[in-house]
Structure 1
Amino acid sequence: MLKVVICEDDFVFRDTLNEYLEVILKEITNQFEIITFNCGEDLVENYPEDVDIFFLDIEMNKLTGMDVARKIREVDDNSEIIFTTGVINYVQDGYEVRAYRYLLKPIQFELLKEHVNSCIKDIIKRNENNIVIQNKGCIYKLRIDEITFVEVINKDIIIHTINQSYNTKTNMKIIEKELIKYNFYRCHNSFLVNMKYVEYIKQSTILVNSVEIPVSRYRIKKFKTKLLSVLGDIIC
């Protein structure tokens, strides 16, 4: 079951978006549900579980779409968030909550269809992507999208996920080769970071899932370029 939430205080736009999504989703699956809310407060108070995609209007009264997104991220790191907005002033904040896309109003059907299809493909791909590691006789299957960063301490590789850390004896180059295609970047000899979880960059330090990580001086320029590239992909 594919579950989509629309939170929008403009009832005309909300109804239009709902109609568009029904047409788009019917081409993909018959098993879907669209839930609508007319304000952020209503969504937070009646928070639905197991949502795949949130469509949030940024400029709502009281609780804005960005406020709602932050509350979503407090309990859910897996749902995709697509902002609908008439301006792009909130791009940096959107990166903080790992927004999948910004869609500028008025939204065109074909553009919406393109990005909804892309989002659903990424969700399916994400759910299929895992790596397997071994440590002290135990085998662990880790979801790649939940890995925040990897670090080297002495001869050990430590893989940090959203909720836990795992030690393994594999080589950093092997891990990097496996993860680089999923928007991971080697910002330092000892660190490989998931760009999805970078919260900010300040001088030669970045914050990844609330952990400060150094960026090598000779890699800082390329890192910023990569960060801007990833950020640019979410603006449409």
Structure 2
Amino acid sequence: MKIAIIDDDISFLEMFNKKINSNIKKIFDQVIIDRYTNIDHFPFQYDIYFLDIDLIDDNGISIAGKIKENDKNALIIFVTSKNNLVFSALKVQPFYFIRKSNLDEEFETALMLLKEHFNQKSYFSFKYNFEYIKILTDDILYLEVDNHLTSLVTKFKAYHLYKPLKEIMNEINSDDFIQINRNNSVNIKHIKQYKKNAILLDNNQTLKIGIAFKSVVAERMIK
């Protein structure tokens, strides 16, 4: 799980980072937390964002809009000392609000809601380089087979498995995945644009639709 904290108050940023580090592993086994005081060179590649609404040089609500443009599944939790901005922030559909004036109580509530949210999600588990890996199926962009090697490409990393594409599809066991050609299956949650001969993914990668798969893909995309 990748988490970003964005706040231009450095003392609060450090304190809040420690608070998250001390508690978040109650929910997630593997966590990466990055801190930012601004969005210069910001990668927009996180699962959860703790975002100050009222930044000195940036508008937190506008940043949230950019985050959603890059990843509609991203979870944004606004952290703010300006309670009057809460209503304005609703238009970007945040996951939750934490008021700095009530930090401890509302942070605990946010953790509880995150736990409930991710407990409802499905995961795909596998062994990789002598490690046990568990990833959200929602994080998988697509699968690609090349000879006997199937690449499982997520938002953050690619894993290369010596398993047939069909076997991995069966193990994932999700209706969100559809095969679009002999070598690729994609997660429809990450299709940004669909055309007759190709699809564009959230990461701006284009994959061709095979002739034999066009009718099946078309039928699925109009559901």
Instruction: Give me the TM-score of the superposition, normalised by structure 1.
Output: 0.50
Aligned partner of 1:97 in structure 2 is 92
Question: Residue 24 of structure 1 corresponds to which residue in structure 2?
Answer: 23
Q: Corresponding residue for 2:72?
A: 77
Q: Quick check: 2:5–2:13 contact (8 Å CA) kept in 1?
A: yes
CA distance in structure 2 between the partners assigned to 1:96 and 1:4 by the alignment: 22
CA distance in 1 between partners of 2:106 and 2:87 (Å) = 22
Matched residue type, 1:55: F
Measure the CA separation in 1 of the matches of 2:2 and 2:18. 15
Q: Give the distance between the partners of 1:75 and 1:119, measured in 2 at CA.
A: 21
Give the secondary structure class of the aligned counterpart of 1:68.
helix
2:117 to 109, 117, 122: 122
Q: CA RMSD in A?
A: 2.7
Deviation at 1:120, TM superposition (A): 3.4
User: What aligned pairs does 1:159-178 form with structure 2 within 5 A after superposition?
Assistant: 165-167=221-223
2:59 corresponds in structure 1 to 64
Deviation for aligned residue 1:127:
4.7
Mark the runs of 5 or more structure 1 residues left unpaired by the alignment: 131-139, 147-163, 168-236
Q: Give, as a single letter, the amino acid of the residue that structure 1 aligns with 2:42.
A: N
> Which residue number in structure 2 is paired with residue 212 of structure 1?
none
SS in 1 for 2:120: helix
Distance 1:165 1:107 in 2: 44
Please state how far the C-alpha of 1:3 moved relative to its aligned partner.
1.2
Return closer, same or farther for 1:46/1:38 CA change in 2, 3 Å cut-off: same
1:92 & 1:19 partners in 2: Cα distance? 28
* Alignment CA distance shift 1:126-1:29 (3 Å): closer
After superposition, the Cα gap between the structure-2 partners of 1:70 and 1:96, relative to the gap in structure 1 and judged at 3 Å, is same
Q: 1:107 to 1:4 in 2, by over 3 A?
A: farther
The list of structure 1 runs, each at least 4 consecutive aligned residues, that deviate by more than 3 angstroms after superposition, is 126-130
**What is the aligned residue count?**
134
The superposition leaves residues 166-205 of structure 1 with CA deviations (integer Å, 9 ceiling, x where unpaired) of 34xxxxxxxxxxxxxxxxxxxxxxxxxxxxxxxxxxxxxx
CA distance in 2, matches of 1:31, 1:20: 16
Distance of aligned partners of 1:48 and 1:124 in 2 relative to their CA distance in 1, 3 Å threshold: farther
Name the structure 2 match of 1:3: 2
TM-score of the superposition, structure 2-length normalised? 0.52
Higher relative contact order (CA 8 A, sep 6+): 1
CA shift, 1:165, in A, is: 4.7
Q: Tell me what 2:36 maps to.
A: 37
1:54 to 2:49 alignment? yes
Cα deviation 1:100-144 (Å, max 9, x = unaligned): 1111113433431231231232134145799xxxxxxxxx9259x
For residue 224 of structure 1, what is the aligned residue in structure 2? none
Change over 3 Å in CA distance of 1:65–1:85 after alignment to 2:
same
Contact kept, 8 Å, 2:76 with 2:94, in 1: the verdict is yes
Which amino acid is 2:24 matched to?
A: L
Which AA in structure 2 matches 1:84?
V
The residue number in structure 2 matching 1:170 is: none
**Shift in Å, 1:97:** 1.0
